[in-house]
Amino acid sequence: MSAEAFPSTPSNIPSFDVHPYQPDGGYSSLGSALCIVMALIAAAIMGFVTSWIGQHFYLIILFPIGVGVVVGFTLNFAIRLGKVRSPWLGGVAGLMGGALSTVMMLFFDYQRQLSQVAQVDPQVWDRVELFEKLGMDKQKPRDMEQAEWNEWKLLIKVRKVDTFLKYIDYAAEEGVSIGRGSSKGFNLGYYGTLIYYGVEMLIIGFVAFAIGRSAAAEPYCTACNQWKVSKQLSDFVVRADRVNEWLDAIRLGTPLPRKDFDVFNAEGARYVTTLYRCPACGNSNPVDVKVEEVTIGNKGQEQKAEKVFVTYPGEAEPVLEALMEEPTVVEPDAPPPPPPPAASAEQVE
């Protein structure tokens, strides 16, 4: 079948019953449990990793985004495996992961402090205790060096931290410092630090939420209980003056041939059209068609924005495929391509 079978004269435009794409929202209890457990395991592991790296350096904002991406992609895997199509469930599992990873990072920080405390010579603790009993912990004794006094103060403080909640209180009192390199930087203070931990949870949670939500919204065949597979129908630059006409036609179920919208020499933006079909039942069940606008971000990365996402009846697939076929570049009236000798003459030049 070729694009010529559907000339763009109004009477011959193929027309299909379409409706906006909607995720079916289904999930099983096993699938949901898998998502939540895997998101939480990933969050706990990332909490451990950030706590460990955090001994050496810590990048605010960037670390939480990275953790969110790792939790999100783990969740994505669980969603595919557990066949969860409820975007809310996918999103909430991501949020839970976000909250847990920050808590776990602090928990592993606490565990490390406990093990450091355990390594201190018991005799030192005896002296710290005596120090406190004598009330000498309030003010620096005259004959003591400032550096030594700071150490004493730290030991006195650390000894009292014997629960996780007390550790969070201690960590907030120490405060998160924002600064580069070895400089101390600006300390957020007690409440600032607690707020920072909350913001961090939100960043991780939001990133994982967004990934989980979109993973669960992918097209699925409920008849065969499996995810649909995607197939790219077209990727071309649509002429700017006819973009809306082209998009509306796909949206309304009256798709038009690509050759009338390809830019040739005009201005336009790049659009990618993707079709989702069930590998088992093929055309006997509906297919989903997504059109995305592709732009280049300021860092040179490709950004895709969804413009159309509709469900077509299965029999539309071959028609869509034919309409989206790449048109032949040579126009009908154009002279035939130069014979080979001419090309070799060009090379000589």
Give 224 or 296: the residue with its C-beta nearer to Zn ion.
224
Of all helices (H) and strands (E), which one includes residue 187? Answer: strand 186-187
Give 70 or 278: the residue with its C-beta nearer to Zn ion.
278
Please say whether the beta carbons of 320 and 253 come within 8 A.
no
CB of residue 272 vs Zn ion: minimum separation in angstroms? 24
Give 279 or 318: the residue with its C-beta nearer to Zn ion.
279
CB of residue 281 vs Zn ion: minimum separation in angstroms? 3
Give 22 or 116: the residue with its C-beta nearer to Zn ion.
22
User: What does residue 12 show for φ and ψ, rounded to 5 degrees?
Assistant: -105, 5
Give 43 or 221: the residue with its C-beta nearer to Zn ion.
221
CB of residue 181 vs Zn ion: minimum separation in angstroms? 57
CB of residue 277 vs Zn ion: minimum separation in angstroms? 8
DSSP state, 91?
H
CB atoms within 10 A of CB 96: 21
CA 146-149-151 angle, 5° bins:
115
CB of residue 227 vs Zn ion: minimum separation in angstroms? 10
Give 224 or 240: the residue with its C-beta nearer to Zn ion.
224
CB of residue 286 vs Zn ion: minimum separation in angstroms? 10
Per-residue tokens: 255: 């798709």
Q: How far apart are CA 25 and CA 83, in angstroms?
A: 10
CA 240-308-320 angle, 5° bins:
85
Please say whether the beta carbons of 2 and 322 come within 8 A.
yes
Q: State the residues that interact with Zn ion by CB under 5 A.
A: 221, 223-224, 278, 280-281
CB of residue 301 vs Zn ion: minimum separation in angstroms? 34
Q: How far apart are CA 142 and CA 54, in angstroms?
A: 36
Give 251 or 277: the residue with its C-beta nearer to Zn ion.
277
Radius of gyration of the chain (CA): 31
Partners of 296 in beta bridges: 302
